[in-house]
A = this chain, B = another copy of it.
Amino acid sequence: MTSIGIVGGTGYTGSELLRLLAGHPQAQVRVITSRADAGQRVADVLPMLRGRCELAFEDPAQAPLGDCDLVFFATPNGTAMEQAPALLDSGVRVVDLAADFRIKDLAVWERWYGMRHAAPALVEEAVYGLPELNREAIRGARLVANPGCYPTAITLGLLPLLEADLIEPSRIIADGKSGVSGAGRKASTGLLMAEVGESFKAYSVAGHRHEPEIQETLRLGTGQALGLTFVPHLVPMVRGIEATIYATLKRPGVDLTSVFAQRYESEPYVDVMPAALPVETRSVRGTNLCRLTVMEPQDKGVAVVQSVIDNLVKGAAGQAVQNMNLMLGLPETAGLDGVALAP
């Protein structure tokens, strides 16, 4: 069994890591930290883990993270860049579920995240952990930047179109919708159920941090600079992301579904569906899957991609475990074989 650590275990990505790793045949969480809950048993703080996790939260300053084979940072932005260097130096691999190492362009990162970067050299070294794009690099990586939730859904929806040079890159629309768990577990009036239940709205319309992440990933991955407008929306549900993506096709009559099917043929976690099937967030709930369709409605020259993921799994903890499996030489799908919980 490989030995795993989690820094910041009381947020939703942390508890989702615990859920997934509880069923992992070759990895075991040995250390989990939480400043606020240090000393408490995990199963008392997160009762859904009763009987499945015997650990107690440890203070991050004392926790023996250096003894782990791999450490996940399930922390707010800005933490991993401070603490990862020491771990890496002692030979521990690191997957950061926050945004510290996702964007290579430091100036862009510092503008969107509002802080100076503490470890610029590691930004360069870090591998962007989208296995469908960077699988081989992830295998050898010491440090993986786990992608954002929207970027996962949207990048997977655009990659085949851009790689096959099928769309105009200059004006792409990505209309994203997320369940509320995407906003994390911090006390906030704006995320109370009485505020967001039974209502729907866009947010961050003027600009969202995931936009530069998508732009850079696709520019580095396909060599094409994008003109992308991304608007996220908040859905009155707990889990799930749907993105509907609109792009102008360069030529008519292409069998888009085949292009996608071929691109993702050997991918264990991308399911290209026939265009007639519904693309529902519940069809991936609890799983590491991205399900997709693509079509050109009424032959109007506009490709419409629908892409769904579970924001806490393929959009966070599941993809992190997929990256962990690759980094540690384990079977890529280990611990990730649950069937979607629907209804």
Contact = CB atoms under 8 A, between A and B. Distances in A.
A23 B205 contact: no
Kindly report how many copies of this chain are found in the complex they form together.
4
A234 to B, nearest CB: 9
A220 interface: no
A197 to B, nearest CB: 5
A193 B197 contact: yes
Contacts of A192: 180, 185, 187-188, 191-193
A237 interface: yes
Interface in A306-343: 306, 308, 312, 337-343
A44 B233 CA distance: 21
B177 A341 contact: no
B341 A286 contact: yes
Nearest to A203: B278
Interface stretch (A48-56, A100-108, A120-128, A142-150): A48-56
A89 interface: no
Contacts of A12: 194, 343
Contacts of A278: 47, 201, 203
B339 A198 contact: no
A227 to B, nearest CB: 7
Nearest to A192: B191
Nearest to A195: B343
Nearest to A197: B238
B235 A235 contact: yes
Interface residues of A, number: 88
A50 B271 contact: yes
A119 interface: no
A316 to B, nearest CB: 12
A266 interface: no
Given A236-B193, A236-B236, A338-B338, A202 B343 contact: no
Contacts of A206: 275, 295, 297-298
Contact of A198 (B177, B198, B233, B283): B198
Contacts of A277: 44, 47
Interface of A: 12, 15, 18-19, 22-23, 44, 46-52, 171, 173, 175, 177, 179-181, 183, 185-189, 191-203, 205-207, 227, 229, 231, 233, 235-240, 242, 244, 246, 248, 271, 273, 275, 277-286, 291, 293, 295, 297-298, 300, 302, 304, 306, 308, 312, 337-343
9 contacts: A19-B339, A46-B342, A181-B343, A191-B194, A198-B198, A201-B281, A206-B275, A229-B300, A231-B244
Q: List the 9 closest A-B pairs by CB distance, nearest first.
A: A199-B282, A48-B340, A193-B193, A175-B175, A201-B280, A181-B194, A48-B342, A187-B187, A180-B193
